[in-house]
Amino acid sequence: MKQLSLFFSFLFFCCYLPLTSIQCGDTLPDKVIDEKDIASIKLYKRYRFLSNKVLTFIKRDEITEKEAATKRRFYRVGYKADRKIVKVEIFLKKEMHKRWRFDLIGNVIRVEIFRNKKVIEYHLNHYDPDERTTLVRKEIYNPDGKKLRQQNYLYGEMEEIDYFNAKGIKSKTELYAGGEVDLVKYFDNRGNIIKETGTYNNNQYPYSMTYIFNEENKLAKSEYRQKNQLKSIYYYNKKGVNYKEDQFDVFGKKNKTIYFDDQGNPIKKKKRVY
């Protein structure tokens, strides 16, 4: 009976905890520890963070293969001989959910996301060269290696997210302030910004700016709106300099026109002298 129990434990370990990694798209960054260096494997019910943001696992959270089979979520950790983490595989309902790969410092360098036992996207993390545990950029790719998004961080906090279309061209950028989206910019396939939306005065006044380009791909005019109401239309010359602004009242009727010089300064009307 004891031998049968050991057999099923071994069978579970082989079926659900494969040693081989799935490579897709881009190659692993140079800083990632090679899986060949794995000297031991442990299972845990949770993970923790050290004071310097480095991921860690502790002895009291360690579980057996039999206990892991009863858990909704558990973590399989591969260690080097010096106890540095090489990779962490996260299992959800007994199937691979994520795989984290590490550098020698303990930073998560690569993350693979699984669905139905296949990688659906992977992330490459980049850290500040001085503050070596501070994340500065995260790149998200599909399994074929095409970039989907890029998240940029300032002092470890989200600063902006760039989105890319099927052609690999940036189509949208979200800028963050206080953990929330503050400004959104939209781009065409030529890299021109064609629209931006945001708010000001503590999110009380939503606004949008639409940019219109001519056949020569030069900015011709832009339209400014508050709460979807047209406020101003700006016109640009061949040098890209704003030379005129039409302003509109609450009824959408033009009530003022301002002209600008080549430096963008309003041109004052000369007063008639009698």
d(CA 266, CA 244): 9
Contacts with 68 (C-beta within 8 Å, 6 or more apart), sequence order = 12, 16, 43, 74, 76, 91
pLDDT at 200: 74
One-letter amino acid at 221 equals K
**What CA–CA distance (Å, rounded) separates 196 from 108?**
33
What pTM was computed for the model? 0.77
Q: What is the mean pLDDT of the chain?
A: 86
Alpha-carbon gap, residue 232 to 256, rounded angstroms: 9
Q: What does the pLDDT look like over 72-110, one tens digit per residue?
A: 999 999 999 999 999 999 999 889 999 999 988 888 999
User: What pLDDT was estimated at residue 202?
Assistant: 65
Is pLDDT at 232 greater than 80 in this prediction?
A: yes
Is the confidence at residue 211, as pLDDT, over 50?
Answer: yes
Residue 132: pLDDT band (50, 70, 90) is confident
Residue 131 has pLDDT above 90, yes or no: no
Is 50 exceeded by the pLDDT of residue 47?
Answer: yes
Task: Give strand pairing partners of 259.
Answer: 244
**Cα(73)–Cα(91) distance, integer angstroms:** 5
CB atoms < 10 A from the CB of 89, how many? 23
Residue 263's alpha-carbon distances to 2, 113, 233, in angstroms, are 87, 51, 18
Whether pLDDT at 220 is above 80 = yes
- How far apart are alpha carbons 180 and 34 in whole angstroms? 37
Q: Do you know the residue count of the chain?
A: 274
What is the spatial distance between Cα 196 and Cα 208, in angstroms, rounded to a whole number?
6
Interval 227-247 mean pLDDT: 93
Query: Considering just the CA atoms, what is the radius of gyration of the chain in Å?
Result: 28
